[in-house]
Amino acid sequence: LTMSQPEGGFHLILRHPGERSDARVTLDLLRKERLLLHPGYYYGLDPGHLVLTFVQRPEVLKKAFRKIVRYFL
């Protein structure tokens, strides 16, 4: 799982291993962890990318990142 450096705006692009489809990952995270991410194809990205909006307090984002990392372990 890697993250690109944001160049502006309020979205982070996460690259995942790709063993599961972007749609599967986003649905799993929504159902299991109550996290809403977008599959990369919504933004014209290649498979293996997720998009996260980061307009939350830092402590909320830290909690979300822990859940995302745990999902891929």
Tokens matching residue 12: 């982070």
| pLDDT tens digits in sequence order for the chain, 73 residues long | 666 666 667 888 999 987 899 999 999 999 999 999 999 999 999 999 999 987 888 898 899 999 999 999 9
Residue 22, both tokens: 């972007």
- Beta-carbon count within 10 A of 14 CB: 19
pLDDT score for 57: 84
Q: What's the confidence (pLDDT) of residue 6?
A: 60
For the chain, percent helix, then strand, then coil, each to nearest 5?
40, 20, 40
